[in-house]
Amino acid sequence: MPENLSIDVRGMTKRFGRLTAVDHVDLQVRAGEICGFLGPNGSGKTTFIRMLCGLLRPSEGRGVCLGCDIISQSEAIKRQVGYMTQRFSFYDDLTIQENLDFVARMYAVPRRRQAVRESIAGLGLEARKDQLAGQLSGGWKQRLALAACMIHHPKLLLLDEPTAGVDPKARRDFWELIHQLAARGLTFLIATHYMDEAERCHRLAFIAAGKLLAHGTSAQIIAQSRLVTWSVSGPDLPALAAQLRGRPGVEQAAAFGALLHVSGDNPAALQQAIAPFRAPPCQWRQVESGLEDVFIHLMNQVPASFT
């Protein structure tokens, strides 16, 4: 594995009976990089993450994570990875400090009490260290969970939809913290549904029905999609959208605030489809496709039986 790659895996596959949850996925993530892992519910994101950190054994595939073989050295990987699950999984009737002390014991962290103090200070938890975890808001629970998965000084953090149910300010603060940690050399693979969060990542991986559909920077993925998008303003846009949907060349007609986005990957067919509607009072303007437009475009490529 090249020295600058924290994750370099090929053909990662996981089957549960007849169900293939992850289907021959290749993924490379550089050290110090924030990689956003996007996909609908049931797409295979969580299964892939669990294979990476040694909690599930792949049915097929090979590669290395943090310099360790994903099959034969899964225990060594676990010691170097922090995994933040979707659900808050700490003891509500213990304080922040007590929860962190418990996790430090589980990892047999040297100089445990000092490590707990440093973790509390590093995540800005000093003022709440004696507060019961069950009394914390979503944003503070999130900080506790992040502190816990970092207490053993991992090199890679796997975060599974870490900001679900968290208010916008707490989400922004969380991402500021993530970028600070990445600047120090930590690597992140973050599963998320939020397009604004995806735009904060260095690179993205789109997965659906267990298959990796796209991987690269935000700009690269948008360019690779070859999606053309028109923005429309004017009266009665829901009625216009209904008329456009299903016309040859129109793949999407979706509301974006006070505007309508009309997209397709065949420019000539799209132009022909919208031509009868390009008259006042509506105003049409071609715009760059956004990540959400591309995300839906990629999802539309997946057979309906898999979504």
Residue 165 has pLDDT above 80, yes or no: no
Mean pLDDT of 283-306: 83
pLDDT the model gives residue 124: 87
Contact in structure between 62 and 71 (CB atoms under 8 Å): yes
251 found inside a domain: yes
Residue 2 has pLDDT above 70, yes or no: no
306 found inside a domain: no
180-225 pLDDT, tens digit each: 999 999 999 999 888 888 999 999 999 999 999 999 999 999 999 9
The tally of CA atoms less than 13 A away on the side-chain side of residue 295 is 20
What is the span of the domain harbouring residue 248? Answer: 228-288
Q: In 3-state terms, what secondary structure has residue 1?
A: coil
Residue 270 has pLDDT above 80, yes or no: yes
Domain end residue (candidates: 196, 221, 246): 221
Do 13 and 119 belong to one domain?
yes
Do 256 and 193 belong to one domain?
no
109-159 pLDDT, tens digit each: 999 999 999 999 988 899 999 999 999 888 888 889 999 999 999 999 999
Do 167 and 22 belong to one domain?
yes
Q: How far apart are CA 64 and CA 178, in angstroms?
A: 24
Single-letter amino acid code for the residue at 226: R
Q: How far apart are CA 147 and CA 289, in angstroms?
A: 37
Tell me the pTM. 0.86
183 found inside a domain: yes
Do 69 and 143 belong to one domain?
yes
Contact in structure between 35 and 188 (CB atoms under 8 Å): yes
Do 131 and 183 belong to one domain?
yes
Q: Which residues 6+ apart lie within 8 Å of 225 measured at CB? A: 214, 265, 289, 294, 297, 298
206 found inside a domain: yes
Q: Which residues 6+ apart lie within 8 Å of 52 measured at CB? A: 7, 9, 65, 70, 77, 81, 158, 189
Q: Any idea what the CATH number is for the domain that residue 119 is in?
A: 3.40.50.300
Contact in structure between 254 and 261 (CB atoms under 8 Å): yes
180 found inside a domain: yes
Q: Model confidence at 54, in pLDDT bands (50, 70, 90)?
A: confident
145-157 pLDDT, tens digit each: 999 999 999 999 9
How many domains does the chain contain in total? Answer: 2
Q: Any idea what the CATH number is for the domain that residue 280 is in?
A: 3.30.70.330
294 found inside a domain: no
Do 137 and 217 belong to one domain?
yes
